[in-house]
């Protein structure tokens, strides 16, 4: 070995020794590494490691094998999670670099039932991303790390701003999520752009799958009622709005083009709208037993993928209240998520109740006063029907002695003959036995319409009146350990029940009702006491007021009606020739009675 070789070897050993000494980890680095390994061990056991994060950055360490790093988007499989906030006057969205997804959205000015800021979407449990195949592997962008182009954004008024989250495959090959926001609405814009991926996405695929999944967190006091009013709504390109089951787990495969899909809770919604439409999709809704979790909704929505350098998908979110006027202003028929009933009840609420309520709301009165005025207006409009119904009942009351005589003469053994004699009496007296029922039936759609209107009225949420703290849910001045699922008594429901019982007693005393009919009227209020006990105090308050005013109308009308005068009119009608035209009802009843008599005679001959 010559001197040069020896000198080289000595230098090499000196360099190696110095490197080992200089690169030796410090005690702090050894401690951090130990903490990392402990955290990884907890993750493998399914436990949550202790967090040392702040509000701006969340440090996440992902164990990735070399194959994943070498695969498509391999460089994005590891990274550091950061949160970028995008906010305006109405919402504050927290967007994560992991998946480039909206993790949670705070609706400003609103609170959950427990006083905490109202937040939509489920944080760490929220998923949002594109899925497709590449190089024989399934790629899900929800699990990959994006790079934001800027920091937090805050706008107001007509101002707008945007921030881009980029998922890089290679130079000039990437996926962009471009989030944009204006200062004056509940929308969060999202434009998805793919560039240079025509040869990255598997050639057998003609679409990308946009997966969105989130639990609906409890926002209202009564989670049972909230579950019954929460599900996924969607609108087809044809304009039809439909929804999955409100009461059961449900799944639906949609083959038609979709305009939007909503994760709808009782009073708030998270809606994803596509400007160009989704090419179908699959939506699921599940009820979970977990505390404070209303339901879990997930959807796979299909986006057409063209083999071109750039594909653009303009979308936007709506994060906000299910307030009919706000949703209607937004467009896309989002207001159809607010359940206003079916058939005539739906049109009554949309074209009568909502406009009148909005007009009264413009005076900025207490909502208890607004409901009071609304009830008075409705009762005045329907008073002609109430009057006609009461007059018809008075005629039947005056005829009752004669009907009792007929019953005693004919007996109860031949009901067909008895009914025929009654019809003759009605015809002679000029009385329609259904005259009291028809006006009540005409009023029934309004009564049922309010049954849908008040429980879904966002304006009542959090509004107090008298002892009621929140008109949108039940009042519970009396609580106790649950018995058969009931743990409270609603005072407003009690008042409604008492007034209904008093009104029933008065009607029975005036009409002279006897037998079973006398007692049936008492059963219904008692049944509604149990049914409506957990319904919103605003609804029970309306029914209470409605019963009070109806009772008052009946008392006034009773003073206006003279039974002796009605009796005189009936007797005068009896003296008139009986050539007047029969009503269809009378004709059908007579035909039915003749048929019954014929059948009875035939059986007697046998």
Percent of the chain whose predicted confidence (pLDDT) is above 70: 76
Question: What pLDDT score does 408 carry?
Answer: 73
- Please give the C-alpha separations between residue 56 and each of 97, 107, 136, 142, 518, in angstroms, as whole numbers: 11, 19, 36, 20, 70
Question: What pLDDT score does 326 carry?
Answer: 95
Percent of the chain whose predicted confidence (pLDDT) is above 90: 52
State the Cα–Cα distance between residues 490 and 468, nearest whole angstrom: 10
Question: What pLDDT score does 424 carry?
Answer: 73
Question: What pLDDT score does 213 carry?
Answer: 95
Q: Residue 600 pLDDT > 70, yes or no?
A: no
State the Cα–Cα distance between residues 488 and 228, nearest whole angstrom: 19
pTM (2 d.p.): 0.77
Question: What pLDDT score does 215 carry?
Answer: 93
Question: What pLDDT score does 163 carry?
Answer: 96
Mean pLDDT of 582-602: 56
pLDDT tens for each residue of 130-169: 999 988 889 999 999 999 998 999 999 889 999 999 999 9
pLDDT tens for each residue of 68-95: 555 678 788 888 899 999 999 999 999 9
pLDDT band at residue 19 under the 50/70/90 scheme: very low
Q: Residue 193 pLDDT > 60, yes or no?
A: yes
Closest residue by Cα to residue 393 from 445, 431, 441: 431
pLDDT band at residue 605 under the 50/70/90 scheme: low
Q: Where are the alpha helices (DSSP H) in 458-583?
A: 491-511, 515-531, 537-560, 563-575
Question: Between 252 and 579, where is the model more confident?
Answer: 252
Which has the minimum average pLDDT: 147-151, 396-400, 522-526?
A: 396-400
- Residue 455 DSSP label: G
The torsion defined by the Cα of 497, 501, 506 and 507, in degrees rounded to 10, comes to 90
Which has the minimum average pLDDT: 63-67, 494-498, 563-567?
A: 63-67
Question: What pLDDT score does 457 carry?
Answer: 95
Question: What pLDDT score does 33 carry?
Answer: 46
CA 196 to chain centre: 41
Which has the minimum average pLDDT: 181-195, 198-212, 325-339, 396-410?
A: 396-410
The string of DSSP codes covering 60-73 is ------HHHHHSTT
pLDDT tens for each residue of 243-298: 999 999 999 999 999 999 999 999 999 999 999 999 999 999 999 888 889 999 99
pLDDT band at residue 23 under the 50/70/90 scheme: very low
pLDDT tens for each residue of 196-224: 999 999 999 999 999 999 999 999 999 99
Mean pLDDT of 5-26: 47
State the Cα–Cα distance between residues 471 and 459, nearest whole angstrom: 9
Mean pLDDT of 574-595: 56
Mean pLDDT of 461-478: 92
Task: Please provide the average confidence, as pLDDT, over all residues in the chain.
Answer: 82
Mean pLDDT of 452-462: 94
DSSP β-bridge partners for residue 260: 235, 273
Which has the minimum average pLDDT: 37-51, 419-433, 529-543?
A: 37-51
Question: What pLDDT score does 41 carry?
Answer: 44
Question: What pLDDT score does 595 carry?
Answer: 62
pLDDT band at residue 487 under the 50/70/90 scheme: confident
Decide if 69 contacts 75 (C-beta within 8 A): yes
Question: What pLDDT score does 4 carry?
Answer: 47
Q: Which two tokens stand for residue 311?
A: 């594909």
pLDDT band at residue 513 under the 50/70/90 scheme: low
DSSP β-bridge partners for residue 113: none
State the Cα–Cα distance between residues 464 and 58, nearest whole angstrom: 40
Question: What pLDDT score does 402 carry?
Answer: 73
Question: Between 560 and 88, where is the model more confident?
Answer: 88
Decide if 415 contacts 590 (C-beta within 8 A): no
State the Cα–Cα distance between residues 471 and 367, nearest whole angstrom: 9
Which has the minimum average pLDDT: 47-51, 212-216, 371-375, 442-446?
A: 47-51
Mean pLDDT of 530-559: 89
pLDDT band at residue 53 under the 50/70/90 scheme: very low
Question: What pLDDT score does 290 carry?
Answer: 83
Helix (H) or strand (E) holding 114: none
Instruction: Kindly list the structural domains of the chain, giving each domain's residue range(s) and its CATH number in brackets, ordered by start.
Output: 53-338 (2.70.98.90), 346-586 (no CATH)
């Amino acid at each position: 070995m010559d001197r040069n070789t020896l000198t080289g070897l000595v230098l090499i050993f000196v360099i190696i020794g110095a490197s080992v000494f200089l690169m030796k980890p410090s005690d702090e680095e050894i401690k951090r590494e130990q903490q990392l390994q402990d955290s990884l061990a907890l993750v493998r056991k399914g436990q949550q490691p202790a967090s040392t994060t702040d509000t701006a950055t969340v440090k996440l360490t992902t164990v990735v094998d070399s194959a994943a790093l070498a695969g498509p988007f391999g460089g994005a499989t590891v990274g550091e999670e950061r949160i970028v906030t995008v906010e305006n006057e109405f919402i504050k969205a927290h967007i994560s670099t992991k998946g480039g997804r909206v993790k949670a959205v705070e609706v400003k000015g609103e609170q959950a039932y427990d006083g905490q800021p109202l937040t939509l979407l489920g944080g760490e449990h929220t998923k949002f991303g594109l899925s497709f195949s590449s190089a024989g592997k399934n790629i899900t962008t929800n699990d990959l790390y994006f790079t934001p182009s800027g920091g937090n954004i805050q706008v107001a008024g007509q101002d707008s701003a945007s921030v881009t989250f980029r998922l890089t495959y290679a130079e000039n090959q990437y996926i962009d999520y471009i989030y944009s926001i204006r200062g004056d609405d509940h929308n969060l814009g999202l434009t998805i752009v793919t560039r240079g991926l025509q040869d990255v996405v598997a050639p057998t695929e003609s679409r990308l799958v946009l997966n969105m999944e989130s639990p609906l967190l409890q926002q209202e006091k009564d989670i049972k009622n909230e579950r019954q009013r929460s599900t996924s709504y969607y609108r087809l390109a044809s304009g039809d709005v439909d929804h999955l089951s409100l009461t059961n787990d449900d799944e639906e495969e949609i083959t038609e083009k979709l305009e939007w899909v909503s994760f709808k809770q009782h009073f708030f919604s998270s809606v994803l709208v596509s400007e160009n439409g989704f090419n179908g999709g699959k939506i699921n809704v599940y009820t979970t037993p977990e505390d404070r979790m209303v339901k879990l909704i997930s959807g796979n929505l299909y986006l057409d993928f063209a083999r071109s350098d750039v594909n653009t998908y303009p979308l936007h979110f709506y994060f906000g209240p299910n307030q009919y006027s706000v949703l209607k202003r937004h467009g896309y028929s989002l207001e159809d998520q607010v359940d206003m009933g079916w058939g005539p009840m739906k049109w009554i609420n949309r074209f009568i109740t909502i406009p009148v309520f909005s007009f009264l709301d413009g005076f900025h009165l207490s909502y208890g006063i607004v409901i009071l005025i609304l009830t008075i207006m409705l009762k005045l409009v329907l008073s002609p029907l109430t009057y006609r119904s009461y007059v018809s009942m008075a005629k039947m009351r005056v005829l009752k002695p004669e009907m009792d005589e007929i019953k005693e003469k004919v007996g109860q053994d031949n009901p067909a003959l008895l009914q025929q004699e009654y019809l003759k009496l009605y015809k002679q007296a000029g009385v329609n036995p259904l005259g009291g029922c028809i006006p009540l039936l005409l009023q029934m759609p309004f009564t049922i319409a309010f049954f849908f209107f008040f429980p879904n009225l966002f304006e009542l949420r959090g509004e107090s009146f008298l002892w009621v703290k929140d008109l949108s849910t039940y009042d519970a001045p009396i609580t106790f350990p649950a018995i058969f699922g009931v743990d409270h008594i609603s005072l407003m429901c009690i008042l409604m029940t008492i007034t209904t019982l008093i009104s029933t007693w008065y009607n029975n005393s005036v009409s002279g009702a006897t037998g079973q009919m006398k007692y049936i009227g008492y059963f219904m209020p008692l049944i509604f006491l149990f049914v409506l006990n957990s319904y919103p105090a605003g609804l029970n308050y309306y029914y209470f007021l409605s019963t009070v005013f109806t009772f008052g109308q009946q008392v006034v009308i009773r003073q206006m009606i003279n039974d002796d005068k009605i009796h005189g009119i009936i007797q005068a009608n009896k003296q008139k020739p009986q050539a007047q035209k029969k009503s269809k009802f009378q004709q059908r009843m007579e035909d039915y009675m003749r048929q019954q008599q014929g059948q009875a005679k035939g059986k007697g001959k046998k």
